[in-house]
Homo-oligomer: A and B are copies of this chain.
Amino acid sequence: MKFSQIVPKVNHLAHSLTNNPEIDPDLIAVAAIDEAITGTISYIEGKKYAHWVEKTNASALIIPPDPALQDIASHRQIPWLTSGEPRLTFAQVIDLFYQPYRPQPQIHPTAVIAPGVKLGKNIAIGPHVVIERDVKLGDDVCIHPNVVIYPEVNIGDRSILHANCTIHERTQIGKDCVIHSGAVIGAEGFGFVPIATGWYKMQQSGVTVLEDGVEVGCNSTIDRPAVGETRIGKQTKIDNLVHIGHGCHLGANCALAGQVGLAGGVTLGNRVILAGQVGVANQAKIGDGAIASAQAGIHNDIKAGEIVSGSPAIPHKIYLKIAAITQRLPDMYQFFREQRP
């Protein structure tokens, strides 16, 4: 694809075919800036990577709106696009070069589909899929091989279930959701009441609901509660190996990174971001737009917009201050010993 063909198809602020207008390279692939070879288009994001404009082998670039970088690229005869959001523009360019694998819409003869299952139009159901009674699939749904769907599940239009995931009874999955391989949605929450002889199992009669556009990573688990709902708000994105306990309510547009764990009954507002391995205790409430750093341990409520770090989690600014002072503890301790041996 010619660079000039890409220009009108993506968001950008300005572009240049270089000071030699005849240079319009034929681009064959997208590449990271430090791995780019001739024939690829790449992008620069942030100061950390800016110096790569001077040495990359990419044949075209997406760069931030920085005249100095534009000049270097032009001088090196590299045509460029300027974008206020280079990573977003790069994502749009990837879409021009790459189509993710999708199986053909057909129902494989080895799939076992219970009588009475309702199927929309244009559905792909792979080999060895099992769909139990009273399941309803919308149009253009894609079920990869070896997925198991328990009874009474609804799955909205265009949702994709990757191989070997499991959807438990009564789960409601919206439109345009993606469930990655090995994820388990709507299984029984961890509900046991201590009794003299051990534990009394509290049956989990509730339901798990994923609103439209939710994505759940590989081998993540989202449990259903004893009563009521576990609910994931629209467009919320969940990475791999995340655990969401029974009765959690997540708002819209949240992002949960790998290995995050939410205990039972946690509430997240909208646009909450939890970095890797964060843990949140039972019943904690986290406000809109709050952010937790990696490995934070949240035991109490967090206000909207707050940034927290550490275990137990505290405001990030205080965390940084205390972390810095902690480095000085040996000096402080020596002073203490001198003053009061």
Query: Chain A 116-154 against B: per-residue CB contact (8 Å), 1 yes, 0 no?
Result: 000000000011101010000000000011101011000
Query: Chain A 156-185 against B: per-residue CB contact (8 Å), 1 yes, 0 no?
Result: 000000111110110000000000111010
Say yes or no: A276-B258 contact (C-beta < 8 A), given A221-B219, A329-B325: no
Query: A101 — which chain B residues lie within 8 A by C-beta?
Result: 150-151, 169
Say yes or no: A130-B146 contact (C-beta < 8 A), given A95-B203, A180-B187, A258-B243: yes
Q: Kindly state the separation between the CA atoms of A339 and B203 in the bound complex, as whole angstroms.
A: 58
Say yes or no: A221-B228 contact (C-beta < 8 A), given A166-B182, A184-B181: no
Of A13-21, A64-72, A74-82, A84-92, the stretch lying at the interface with chain B is: A84-92
Of A1-9, A249-257, A300-308, the stretch lying at the interface with chain B is: A249-257
Q: Kindly state the separation between the CA atoms of A247 and B34 in the bound complex, as whole angstroms.
A: 12
**Across the two chains, which residue of chain B brings its CB closest to A295?**
B297
A321 to chain B, nearest CB (A): 6
Q: Which residue among A98, A190, A314 has the maximum number of chain B CB atoms within 10 Å of its CB?
A: A190
Counting every copy of the chain, the complex holds 3
List 9 A-B residue pairs with CB atoms under 8 Å apart, sorted by A's residue number: A127-B128, A130-B145, A180-B184, A190-B217, A199-B253, A223-B240, A257-B263, A261-B276, A331-B336
Q: Are A281 and B294 touching (Cβ within 8 A)?
A: yes
Query: A164 — which chain B residues lie within 8 A by C-beta?
Result: 146, 148, 164-166, 182, 184
Query: Chain A 271-305 against B: per-residue CB contact (8 Å), 1 yes, 0 no?
Result: 00000110101000000000000110101000000
Q: Are B263 and A258 touching (Cβ within 8 A)?
A: yes
Q: Are B279 and A279 touching (Cβ within 8 A)?
A: no
Say yes or no: A330-B325 contact (C-beta < 8 A), given A94-B205, A150-B101: yes
The one of B130, B199, B228, B245 in contact with A32, judged by C-beta atoms closer than 8 angstroms, is: B228
A164 to chain B, nearest CB (A): 5
A28 within 8 A of B: no
Q: Are B112 and A127 touching (Cβ within 8 A)?
A: yes
Query: A228 — which chain B residues lie within 8 A by C-beta?
Result: 31-32, 35
In addition to A87-B193, A187-B218, 14 A-B residue pairs with Cβ atoms within 8 Å of each other are A32-B247, A35-B227, A98-B203, A100-B188, A112-B128, A144-B148, A164-B182, A182-B221, A184-B240, A201-B215, A218-B223, A219-B221, A221-B241, A325-B330
